[in-house]
């Protein structure tokens, strides 16, 4: 939970917003908006334009879409003087809000050369100037709502910062030239994580989810509710590349008995033989990273695996994936430090030995859980168009927890629910094992 968000978003304060308050939000706004642009600095203009698969968006689209969010949900409703640069942007940069006009078809985002990258940056500057003016002197009757939406918009932008890195990686990885996104990334530390250990958790009723009255969280993280957990054991660290290689070498990708039916079909259709971005060469396995093509580090957590692969590995290992509730119980008391985007590795690192504590719950790799992404009891989506933010994706996806090496550190929470379809691999997704006590 970012301290600023916690402090500012508490309902008491929002009841009495004032200029001081919104000015603090403006500084936060500016800091996060600049972070997005900093992530794009290493790109060539051409990199901004590519859509390498339907799920990927061109980087310039990301930059424009997050800007549109502020325009559509804050400036247009609350700033009467605001003028859009081009009314068609509202169509082009609406991602999926069906109740807000007709979104431009997602698979065609890569056919748009215009607005150019420079024009997208002008759009950002235009909206930023209007947002600064608004936050300098907000209409008092809307100040609370504006702050709530700025907060949501900034979390939204941070999500897209991670998506930017995922998508840039996917875009550059298609290219036989294997260009590095950056060649000055922070070097990995040399760690030798010890043997896998199992941490015990007793059975009992647990409180889960986020109290949406106290500090920011997405609607899908609440409300707080109770679950009964049977006793379970959780691995003290994620599965490593070395361990996953043993699965590969044991024929893991060729044995249907290890796979869910849909997963086995996917293996056959897509020809999977290793995690995404892995390439076998004569001298061993390499993988494409944002720093270029590098040898796979055996000690680092395996990454860019699908839920299907995580699930098959767990079956092979005689274990299972934790439920999201089990994960959350373990993570409640864990330190939230970790390898996030600020560490500037942009690749998961080997865990330091930690004795009995669970390592790497936060950062490094998103961890697939065994839980389908469904609403909590009592879930209420946000009202209006913003209600499309999370709730409508609650079918066909699995929950991941904990953030990764591309996540901003102040964007993650123990209750944070990320989600992807079970075949998706382009997120920085790994996994940790669990088993019955």
Of 95-103, 270-278, 282-290, 411-419: span binding its own copies (CB under 8 A):
95-103
Choose between 117 and 317: whose C-beta lies nearer to its own copies.
Answer: 117
Under rule CB under 8 A, residue 122 binds its own copies: no
Pairing label, strands 292-295, 366-372: unpaired
Judged on CB neighbours under 10 Å (0-12, 13-18, 19+), 10 is middle
Find the binder of its own copies among 61, 307, 368, 416 (CB under 8 A): 307
> Can you tell me which of 16, 34, 108, 137 binds its own copies, judged by CB under 8 A?
108
The span of 3-11, 34-42, 240-248, 386-394 binding its own copies (CB under 8 A) equals: 386-394
Binding flag, residue 308, its own copies (CB under 8 A):
yes
Q: Taking the complex as a whole, how short is the minimal distance between the CB of residue 181 and its own copies, in angstroms? A: 11
Using CB under 8 A, which of 141, 195, 200, 436 touches its own copies? 436
> Binding mask 247-286 vs its own copies (x if CB under 8 A, - otherwise)?
---------xx-xxxxxx----------------------
Number of residues that bind its own copies (CB under 8 A): 73
The answer to whether residue 177 forms part of the interface with its own copies (CB under 8 A) is yes
CA 309/CA 423 separation, integer angstroms:
8
**Residue 293 binds its own copies (CB under 8 A):** no
Of the two residues 80 and 318, which places its CB atom closer to its own copies in the complex?
318
The rounded distance, in Å, linking the Cα atoms of 407 and 17 is 30
**Residue of 3, 11, 176, 318 interacting with its own copies (CB under 8 A):** 176
Site for its own copies in 312-341 (CB under 8 A): 320, 323
d(CA 135, CA 82): 13
Site for its own copies in 337-376 (CB under 8 A): 370-372, 374-375
Tell me which stretch binds its own copies (CB under 8 A): 20-28, 98-106, 145-153, 329-337.
Answer: 98-106
Nearest CA to 42 out of 288, 340, 365, 292 is that of 292
End-to-end CA distance of the chain: 31
Phi, psi of 367 (to 5 degrees): -110, 120
Angle in degrees, 0-180, between the axes of helices 117-136 and 59-70, rounded to the nearest 10: 20
Q: CB of 435 within 8 A of CB of 233?
A: yes
* Distance of alpha carbon 247 from alpha carbon 259, whole angstroms: 13
Residues in region 127-166 near its own copies by CB under 8 A: none
Please name which of 64, 34, 33 lies closest in space to residue 48, comparing C-alpha atoms. 64
By CB under 8 A, what part of segment 7-66 binds its own copies? 44-52, 60
Supply φ then ψ for residue 201, to 5 degrees.
-135, 130
């Amino acid at each position: 939970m970012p301290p600023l968000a916690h402090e500012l978003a508490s309902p008491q304060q929002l009841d009495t917003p004032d200029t001081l308050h919104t000015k603090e939000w403006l500084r936060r706004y500016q800091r996060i908006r600049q972070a997005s642009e900093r992530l794009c600095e290493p790109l060539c203009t051409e990199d901004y334009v590519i859509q390498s698969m339907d799920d990927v968006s061109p980087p310039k689209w990301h930059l424009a879409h997050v800007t549109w969010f502020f325009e559509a949900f804050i400036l247009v409703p609350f700033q009467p003087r605001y003028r859009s640069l081009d009314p068609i942007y509202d169509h082009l940069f609406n991602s999926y809000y069906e109740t807000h006009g007709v979104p431009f078809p997602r698979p065609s985002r890569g056919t748009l050369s215009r607005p150019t990258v420079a024009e997208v940056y002008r759009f950002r500057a235009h909206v930023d100037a209007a947002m600064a003016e608004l936050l300098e002197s907000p209409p008092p009757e809307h100040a609370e709502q504006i702050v709530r939406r700025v907060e949501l918009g900034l979390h939204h932008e941070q999500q897209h910062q991670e998506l930017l890195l995922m998508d840039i990686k996917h875009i550059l990885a298609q290219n036989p030239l294997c260009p590095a996104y950056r060649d000055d990334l922070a070097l990995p530390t040399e760690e030798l994580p010890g043997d896998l250990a199992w941490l015990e958790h007793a059975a009992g009723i647990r409180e889960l989810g986020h109290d949406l009255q106290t500090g920011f969280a997405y609607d899908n993280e609440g409300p707080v509710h109770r679950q009964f957990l049977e006793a379970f054991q959780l691995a003290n660290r994620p599965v490593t590349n070395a361990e996953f290689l043993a699965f590969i070498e044991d024929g893991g990708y060729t044995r249907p008995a290890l796979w869910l039916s849909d997963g086995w079909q996917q293996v056959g259709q897509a020809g999977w033989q290793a995690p995404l971005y892995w390439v076998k060469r004569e001298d061993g396995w390499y993988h494409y990273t944002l720093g270029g093509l590098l040898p796979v580090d055996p000690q680092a957590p395996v990454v860019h695996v699908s839920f299907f692969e995580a699930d098959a590995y767990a079956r092979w290992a005689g274990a299972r994936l934790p439920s999201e509730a089990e994960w959350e119980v373990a993570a409640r008391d864990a330190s939230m430090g970790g390898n996030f985007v600020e560490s500037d590795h942009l690749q998961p690192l080997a865990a330091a030995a930690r004795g009995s504590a669970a390592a790497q719950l936060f950062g490094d790799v998103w961890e697939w859980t065994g839980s389908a992404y469904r609403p909590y009891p009592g879930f209420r989506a946000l009202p209006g168009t913003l209600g499309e933010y999370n709730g409508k994706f609650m079918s066909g996806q699995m929950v991941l927890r904990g953030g990764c090496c591309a996540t901003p550190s102040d964007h993650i929470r123990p209750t944070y629910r990320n989600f992807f379809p079970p075949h998706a691999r382009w997120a920085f997704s790994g996994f940790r094992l669990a088993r019955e006590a």
